[in-house]
Structure 1
């Protein structure tokens, strides 16, 4: 508000000077010689104050817009980071669930093969040699195929690139070379 102080003081000085140089006898239209210049100076000072206030408001609005733009960008970056964190956490949970399910499936399949091998051994002991050997070779071949598939899946998982991705900013301007 100190911006307006020089204008107020100038208006008061001009008004005092006009009153001091006015004639002592102001009757009828003589008052117009005093009121018109004071009115003109008042209107010019009001226009000057209005212009100063408009510039002050415009500067304040642009400062607030810049502040809000920075805050909006910070919110976008934080949201992108949070999104990246949630995606990474979901990926980790998915990997753990796949491992848990795979382990449970491996146990069940191992028990099935052990059962088939046990039945094959029992058939050998009870003199059903052909049927027992057939059962044992079938269980062994299935177990070998299952182990081979597990090894191939592990090798494929190791070959996949493990990239660490940085959070990408939304509406970020691409850099040009």
Structure 2
């Protein structure tokens, strides 16, 4: 009997900075219009170190916020934009797809694909019914209350401590300093 070749599937890594303020309306905040609700150079440095050289999948509004904040697509990454209106994304060198499964098929030969937002794209890879699910969560949990309008989907029920499939693999705390809030880098890995 001939066995068909196994199809390679890249590791799907969700990466986000999320406000941690349980019990407040600012809990799980991730955005404020076209900006981040905070400025954490260490988080930006970590984001760059982790995503450099890999496809970075995001929704159209998240891509527009990158253009607003940084003046263009993120360099040395394949910027992948999901949109139902591909003609609205007119930027050279950007990969545009109508949905996440289509984008993942296009990058099936890659070792790793990062999911960089926004809220709807994050919700999709955290949904247990989705054809594309996160294998790992790279979260920056920012302590405090901030104002904004975009929120990360509920996720704590997915953590192993609450009976979910994601176990904490690493946690690195950073105390508040120089007017910046305390935060933690936390890596969660899905148990298969």
TM-score of the two chains, using structure 1 as the length reference: 0.17
Q: Relative contact order, CA 8 A, sep 6+: which one is greater? A: 2
Please identify which structure carries the higher strand content: 2
Q: TM-score, normalised by structure 2?
A: 0.16
- Structure number with higher helix proportion: 1
Q: Rg bigger for which structure?
A: 1
